[in-house]
Amino acid sequence: PPGRKVLIVYAHQEPKSLNGSLKSVAVEELSKQGCSVTVSDLYAMQFEPRATRNDIVGCLHNSEEFNYGVETWKAYKRGGLSSDLIEEQKKVQEADLLIFQFPLYWFSMPAIMKGWMDRVLVQGFAHEFPNCYDSGLLKNKLALFSFTTGGSREMYAKGGISGDIRYLLWPMQHGIMHFCGVKVLAPHICFAPEYVSEEKRKEMLTAWAQRLKTLWKEEPINCSPEWYFK
């Protein structure tokens, strides 16, 4: 619907890739609906994935012994995080929907995107015990993981060699997004695009565009372990 804000966090090195096309389709389709869409193109930004002392501007809370979690929490509270983090947090804060677009690497997201999670979702900003899971600080937001795999759909079935694809979503969707209070829409998975015809890849893009047309009507998945392990 017009006025909704979307942040696409995108991790692929090649704009001409299927991931690049999936990202472009989302920008186009959501913009057409009147949403305002922002893209964090992590590779193009040369986003720093490492969580280091450089993320804190000024003096440390405890200069004797460095604790990243404590230091970034304190820095967030006093407005002392590095500018690249403040920039990403502002984008997250404004977004109604976060779309993560990436190729699956080793049953997970690429390092550069994991680094975005590690550095951006700071305590005090995204969660603050006991405010986590349903009371996480980013509640009222939606997230969607859209990714490509190397393996086929059969390999990622419950009886397949790689196990149910949902098992891999547990750390990403539940351990990160739901922990921060974000509601999660069903993932969008393009299985083994490298091993299918050009025509099939076009169909994958069309299917994504179709889904985006009615995305705002979708209900989030059930945020419980059952969804992943039933």
pLDDT over 80 (residue 1)? no
Give per-residue pLDDT as tens, 132-188: 999 999 999 999 999 999 999 999 999 999 999 999 999 999 999 999 999 999 999
Residue 208 has pLDDT above 80, yes or no: yes
Mean pLDDT of the chain: 97
Share of the chain above pLDDT 70, in %: 100
28-67 pLDDT, tens per residue?
999 999 999 999 999 999 999 999 999 999 999 999 999 9
All residues at 6 or more sequence positions from 217 whose CB lies less than 8 Å from its CB, including other chains: none
What's the rounded mean pLDDT across residues 114-131?
A: 97
Banded pLDDT at 230 (limits 50, 70, 90):
confident
Strands (E), the chain: 5-10, 36-41, 97-103, 142-148, 183-184, 188-190
DSSP three-state, residue 22 = helix
Name the pLDDT band for 202 (thresholds 50, 70, 90): very high
Rg, C-alpha atoms of the chain? 18
CB 143 within 8 A of CB 98: yes
11 and 42 Cβ atoms separated by less than 8 Å: yes
Burial class (CB in 10 A: 0-12, 13-18, 19+), 212: buried
Nearest of 114, 124, 146 to residue 211 by alpha carbon: 146
> How far apart, in whole angstroms, are the C-alpha atoms of residue 165 and residue 222?
16
